[in-house]
Structure 1
Amino acid sequence: MRRLPRNPAGLLGAGIVALLVLLALFGPPLWADAAARINPREISQGSSAAHLLGTDALGRDLLARTLTATRLTLGLALLATLIGTATGILLGTLPQVLPRRAGRAVIAAVDLLVAFPALLLAMFTAVVAGLDAQGAVLGIGAALAPAFARLTHTMTASVAGADYIAAARMLGVPRHRVLTRHVLPNIAEPLILNTAQAMGGALLGLSAMSFLGMGVQAPAYDWGRLLNEAFGHVYVTPSAVVAPALAVTLAGLGFMLLGDSFARAAAHTRAPAGGPAAAPAAVPAPDEPAPDTVLEVRDLTVAFPGGTTPVRQVSLTVRAGEILGLVGESGSGKSMTAAAIGQLVPHPGRTGSARIRLGGVDLDGLTASERRRLLGSSLAMVFQDPTSALNPALRVGGQLAEVATLHGGATRTEARDRAVERLDRVRIRHPADTARRHPHELSGGMRQRAVIAMGLMNTPRLIIADEPTTALDVTVQREVLRVLREAVDETRAGALFISHDIAVVGEVCDRIAVMYAGRVVEELPAGALHQARHPYTRALVGSLPDMDTDRSRPLTTIPGRQPAPGDVGEGCAFADRCALATARCATRPELRTRTGTHSVACWEVK
C-alpha cells in the first residue's frame, strides 16, 4: 500500500474501485426511483438534457439504471470470487492432507479443469444449476476455482520443504494443523493478490453470462442484463449500450490494475528416472553399545529411484553429554543421514538399517504415531538456515510454545513461560520481548539461538545441528557454538553436529566422524585430529591455514571431485583422488578399529 501512490496505474485502479464501492453503497438509495420510473412518452429515446444517456424500451433512464445496478453487479461478482477462491484453495490444499494416491487424483482433476475453457465451464455449470443469477454465480465460481487450485498447490509445494514444516512433521503436528498454521499463512499473500484480479474476471464473466441470457433475469438487472436489453435497439439508439458497456469496462480495468499493482509491489518487496526405490537390505546388528548411549545407528542406508544412494551403511553412536561431529564435503551424505535419523527423508527415498535406537528405544519397532511422539519429545533439530527453520507468519514465542503443548502436555500459559525461560537460557537479551516478535525482527544469531531454544523446550535426549553456523559471521558463530556446548553440558543430551568446516568441528566436538561419498571413512577423537590417518581426512586438515602456514606456498588442495551418489563404484570411492591408491583399492575397505577410539577405512593405513 505504501508503494501505491508512486504507481500511476495502481492509483487509477484504486480510484476506480473506490468509486464503484461508493456507487454500490449509495447508488440504489439515490437513483432507484428514477431507474424504475416507466414513461411511455419517452420510450427508446437518445441522449437528452433530461436523460444524458437515453432511455430504454419502457422509457426508464439508462444512466440511473446503470448506477443502480452497480450494487447487484459487484455483489454477485464478490460472491462468485469467494466461491471460486474458497473452492480453489480447498482443492489446492487437499493433496497435503489426503493419502498420496488420493492427492494425486485431486491434482489430476485440477489439471484437467485448468485445461478446460473457463467460459465453457461456467456455462455448463450454469445450465446444470439453473439459468438465473444463482446459476451464473456458481458457474463463474467453478470457472475461477481451477486456477486458484493450481496456484495454491504450487505455492504449498514451494513451502512444504521448509525446515519449519519438517520440524512440525517431526513433532507429530497433525496434517490439518500443519496446513492451517504453517502453510496457509505463508502463501496468503499471493492468494490475496490474485483475488483482486479474480474479482475483475468474475465481474466480466457474470456480465457476459447475463448478456447471453444465462445470468440475472428480469425484473432484476445487472450491467450484463442492461446490455442484453439494449442490444436490440443498438442501431436505433446507440447510446443505449454506452452506460453499461462503459461500466463493465471500467470496473474490469480497475480491478485488474489494482491486482496487478499489488502483485508488482509484493514481488518488489521479496528478497531476491526409474521406479520406486527398494528399501536397502539390513545386516545383523553388532554388540550392544554403552549404557549411556542416546543414539545408536547401525548400517543406515538411504536410497532413491534410479540407483542413487546418498547414504551407505553408516554406523554412528552418540553418548550422553557428547557432541559427535559429522564432517565432509557437500554431497557426502551428512544431511541425508540426519534426515534419516529424524524420519524426514523425502519421498520417494527409502531408508533401511540394522538398527536405529534413540534413548535405547528401537525406532523400527514403533508404530508411526509412537515414533512421532518419541521423536517429538526426544529429538531436537537445529537447521542450517534459521530463517527457514522459523515460520515467518508466527511469533517466536508461539512457535516455541507449540512444542511444549504438543508433546509436553503444558498449558498455554505454562508453555509461554517455558518459552521465555528457554530463550533466556540461550543468552537472548529481553527474552519476553523477543518471544512477542516475528522471526524477521531478529538478527541471524538471535534466530539461530531461538531455534536452539525451541529444541530445548522438552529437554531432548539428542540434538541434531545441521550446519547451524554456516550463514553466520565469525563472531556470532562463536556465540552460537558456545550456546550449543552449554546446552549439551546442562541437559546431558547427546548432539550430532554436522558441518563441512573441519576447523569448527574440531573446536566444538568431542569425537569426529568423517564422511565421503555416503560412507564414514574415519572416526577419531577431536583432540587427535592432527593424527588423522585416512588420506581424505589428512587432506581436509592440511587445507586449513593457521598462524604457522607458509604464505609463500599454495594451500593444500584435493584434486578431482567427489563422485555423485549414483556413480559410486564397488571399490574405494576416494581412490581416484588419492596419492596412495593401489590395485587393492578396487575393493572397498571396511571401517576397522586401529585403536580403542580411532577407526579408519583404508587399505594403506596400518
Structure 2
Amino acid sequence: MRRPLRHPAGPLRNPTGLLSAALIAVLVLLALVGPPLWGGSAARVDPGRINQGASAAHLLGTDALGRDLLARTLVATRLTLGLALLATAIGTVGGVLLGALPALLPRGTGRAVVAAVDILVAFPALLLAMFTAVVAGLGAQGAVLGIGVALAPTFARLTHTLTASIAGADYIAAARMLRVPRHRVLVRHILPNIAEPLILNTAQSMGTALLGLSAMSFLGMGVQAPSYDWGRLLNEAFGHVYVTPSAVVAPATAVALAGLAFMLLGDAFAKAAAGPGTPAGRTTVPATAPAQAPPAPGAVLEVRDLTVAFPGGVTPVRQVSLTVREGEIVGLVGESGSGKSMTAAAIGQIVPHPGLVGSARTRLCGVELDGLKGAERRKLLGSSLAMVFQDPTSSLNPALRVGGQLAEVATLHDGATRAEARARAVERLGRVHIKEPARVVRQYPHELSGGMRQRAVIAMGLMGAPRLIIADEPTTALDVTVQREVIRVLREVVDDTRAGALFISHDIAVVSELCDRIAVMYAGRVVEELPADALRAARHPYTRALIGSLPDMDTDRSRPLTTIPGRQPSPGDVGAGCAFADRCALATPRCTTRPELRTTGTGHAVACWEAP
C-alpha cells in the first residue's frame, strides 16, 4: 500500500507559533482600538498627579505632565507597529532589488554589487541606521529610513544566495536558451521560487525593525514630541526611573513582548517550511582545423573531436565524435563521471562557466553551428534541439503550471498566441500518453507523479519540431515499470517524428533495449561504438566488463555480483595512455600509449590495442 506523503506541521500547530501569533493578534487589535478608547486618557494633563507611582486611578503611574502611562503605552502601539512595518517594507523591497541586480547586470558590474553588499553586511546595523537617520534628518521619517537601510543588506545577501542556488536549474537554462529576457527570467522563474525564505525572513525582520526603532527613539533620534512611540515613552521615563520605577514597565514590556513575538513567529514559519528533521533556514578551446567534409547522409547531428575543458587542467570530454541519423536512437553509456552529461551540455551549448568548448565540427541538421552568429545559433538550437534532463523536478519550474511552461516554448520561439500554445501543449501531452491532458496543463509539477513529470518534460521538448532529442539519463530516478513507459514513449516519438535521439545512461541494459547504436564512454573518450544488436560481441574490455556486471536469470545468486575493480580516473588525472589500463586484465606495456578509435567491422569501432 502506498504511504501518503507527510506534510510538515503548520506554524500554528506548535506552542511557540501559537503563542507568538496570539501576541501579534493582540498587538494588532490594540493598534486598531487603542487611540479611540484611550486617546483621551493618554492626552489628559493633570498637574496634581505629576510623576506619581502606581495607584488605583493610574495602574502604572503618570508621567511628568500627569498623563496616564498605561493609556499612553496602549495608544503608542499603532504608531510603533506602523513605523516598524514601513521600515520592514523598505528593507525588504530595497534588499530584494539589490540582491537581484547581479542576475540582471553584466558579470563585472554584478560582482561589484555583490562586493558592496558584503561591505554593508559587515557594517554594524544600528550604526548604519543612525548614520542614515542623521543624514536624512532626525525624526520618525529619518529613523524609518535608517532602519530600512540597515535591514536591506541582509535581504540583499539572502536574495543573491538564493538566486545563485537555483541559477543552474534546468528550467533556468531552458529559459535562457529560449532567449527569455533577463528581467523576465528573474520575475517569472527565480523570484517565485525563492519567495518562501524571503517571507520568513520578513517576519523576523519586523521584530528587528521594532526593536531598532524603539532604540532610535530612546536615543532621541526617532519619534519626536508631541508624537510618541514606545521608545519615546522610555526616553521620557528614564529620567525618573529611580523615583517611579513603574514608569518604564509598560513601554519596556511592550517592546520586549512585541519584538519577541515577531521573531518567534518567523522562526515557527521557518521550521514549518523546512519540515521535520530539517534545519530552518561560450568560449572555445583550440581544436583541430575545421573539417570541410560534406554532411553525413541523413545525419541530424554530426560531432567531430568535441572537447570540454575547465581551468586547472580538468578535461571531462576529450575528442568525442558522434553521429546521430534521422529516426535513429544512439545510446551513450558509461559509469558516472565518464563525461556523458557534459557531452550533451556541450552539444546543447549550455556548458556552465568557466567551461571551454571546442570541436573540429559540430553540425546540427547539416548546419555548422560554429559558423552561425549568436542569435542564429540560438534559433536553430531552440527549434531543432530538445533536451530531456535526468531530474524532471529541476527541469520544471515548481512555481508555474505545467501548461504555462510548455506554452512558453511556442509563444517565445514560434510566435504562437496563448490559445494556440495552450492547444499545442494539450496535444503534446496527449502524444506522450498522459491521461486527461486538458486537466494536467492546469496542474503544478508537484501534483504529477515522477513518470508523468518526465513525460511532461518530453512533451515540452516536442512543443516545436525538434530534429534531435537529447535524453540525459531520463529514467534514472524512476522505478522499473515507469522506466519502461518512458522508454516506450521515447521510441514512439522517434518513430513518429523521424527525429534522431541521443540517449544517455549508465544502465547498459536499458540502452541495449532502446537504442539502435551504442557508444561507450570512459574517462571522457568514446572507447567503443557498435550496433545494439551486436552488444554481446563487444571487444573493448570495459564494455565487456559492463556487460558482465549485469545479472540475468542464470546468475548464481550464491556468489557476489561481478564488479569492475578499481575506479575511473577523475577528469584532471587522465594520463597519456589508455585510461582503463589500471583496471584492465589485458593491459600490456603498449597500453602506455593511447589507442585511437579504429574500425574493426561494419558499424563497429574500438579503441584498444589488445581487443580480440
TM-score by length of 2: 0.95
**Equivalent residue, structure 2, for 1:364:** 370
SS at match of 1:332: coil
Measured after TM superposition, the shift of residue 162 of structure 1 is 1.8
Moved more, 162-171 or 400-409: 162-171
The yes-or-no answer on 1:536 pairing with 2:542 is yes
1:227 and 1:241 mapped to 2: Cα distance? 6
Instruction: Rate the CA distance shift 1:190–1:434 in 2: closer, same or farther, 3 A.
Output: same
**Equivalent residue, structure 1, for 2:335:** 329
Q: Is the 8 A contact 1:277 1:304 kept in 2?
A: no
**Equivalent residue, structure 2, for 1:43:** 50
Q: Which amino acid aligns with 1:24?
A: A
The yes-or-no answer on 1:230 pairing with 2:237 is yes
2:288 and 2:256 mapped to 1: Cα distance? 68
Alignment map for 1:66-465 (pairs within 5 Å): 66-268=73-275, 279-285=285-291, 287-465=293-471
Moved more, 540-549 or 24-33: 540-549
Measured after TM superposition, the shift of residue 269 of structure 1 is 5.9
Give the one of 515, 519, 522 matched to 1:513.
Answer: 519
2:508 and 2:371 mapped to 1: Cα distance? 35
Moved more, 207-216 or 91-100: 91-100
Q: Which amino acid aligns with 1:174?
A: P
2:28 and 2:606 mapped to 1: Cα distance? 75
**Equivalent residue, structure 1, for 2:510:** 504
1:42 and 1:373 mapped to 2: Cα distance? 82
Measured after TM superposition, the shift of residue 141 of structure 1 is 0.8
Q: Which amino acid aligns with 1:48?
A: S
SS at match of 1:250: helix
1:246 and 1:571 mapped to 2: Cα distance? 76
Measured after TM superposition, the shift of residue 503 of structure 1 is 0.7
SS at match of 2:103: helix
The yes-or-no answer on 1:8 pairing with 2:15 is yes
Q: Is the 8 A contact 1:277 1:303 kept in 2?
A: no
Measured after TM superposition, the shift of residue 541 of structure 1 is 1.4
Q: Which amino acid aligns with 1:232?
A: G
Q: Deviations over 1:178-233 (max 9, x none)?
A: 11111111111111011110000000000000110111111111111111111112
Q: Which amino acid aligns with 1:426?
A: V
SS at match of 2:605: strand
* Alignment length (residue pairs): 603
Between the two proteins, what is the percent identity of the paired residues? 81
1:92 and 1:67 mapped to 2: Cα distance? 38
Moved more, 7-16 or 361-370: 361-370
Q: Deviations over 1:465-522 (max 9, x none)?
A: 0000011111110000000111111111111100001110011111111100000111
2:573 and 2:292 mapped to 1: Cα distance? 29
2:40 and 2:236 mapped to 1: Cα distance? 19
Instruction: Rate the CA distance shift 1:253–1:552 in 2: closer, same or farther, 3 A.
Output: closer
1:134 and 1:372 mapped to 2: Cα distance? 50
Measured after TM superposition, the shift of residue 284 of structure 1 is 3.7
**Equivalent residue, structure 2, for 1:32:** 39
Instruction: Rate the CA distance shift 1:99–1:282 in 2: closer, same or farther, 3 A.
Output: farther
Measured after TM superposition, the shift of residue 286 of structure 1 is 6.5
1:2 and 1:513 mapped to 2: Cα distance? 49
Measured after TM superposition, the shift of residue 279 of structure 1 is 2.4
The yes-or-no answer on 1:580 pairing with 2:586 is yes
TM-score by length of 1: 0.96
Instruction: Rate the CA distance shift 1:166–1:278 in 2: closer, same or farther, 3 A.
Output: closer
Measured after TM superposition, the shift of residue 402 of structure 1 is 0.9
Measured after TM superposition, the shift of residue 34 of structure 1 is 1.9
Measured after TM superposition, the shift of residue 369 of structure 1 is 2.8
SS at match of 1:181: helix
Q: Which amino acid aligns with 1:105?
A: A
Q: Is the 8 A contact 2:39 2:75 kept in 1?
A: yes
Instruction: Rate the CA distance shift 1:388–1:348 in 2: closer, same or farther, 3 A.
Output: same
SS at match of 2:275: helix
Q: Which ranges in structure 2 are unaligned for 5 or more consecutive residues?
A: 1-7
Measured after TM superposition, the shift of residue 267 of structure 1 is 1.0
Q: Which amino acid aligns with 1:188?
A: A
SS at match of 1:599: strand
SS at match of 1:604: coil
2:294 and 2:325 mapped to 1: Cα distance? 13
Cα RMSD for the two superposed structures: 1.8
Measured after TM superposition, the shift of residue 278 of structure 1 is 7.7
Measured after TM superposition, the shift of residue 552 of structure 1 is 5.5
1:208 and 1:125 mapped to 2: Cα distance? 15
Q: Deviations over 1:125-172 (max 9, x none)?
A: 111111111111111111111111111111112212222222222222
SS at match of 2:578: coil
Measured after TM superposition, the shift of residue 424 of structure 1 is 0.7
Q: Deviations over 1:379-423 (max 9, x none)?
A: 111111111111111111111111111112111111111111111
Measured after TM superposition, the shift of residue 63 of structure 1 is 1.4
SS at match of 1:465: strand
Q: Deviations over 1:225-244 (max 9, x none)?
A: 11111111212222111111
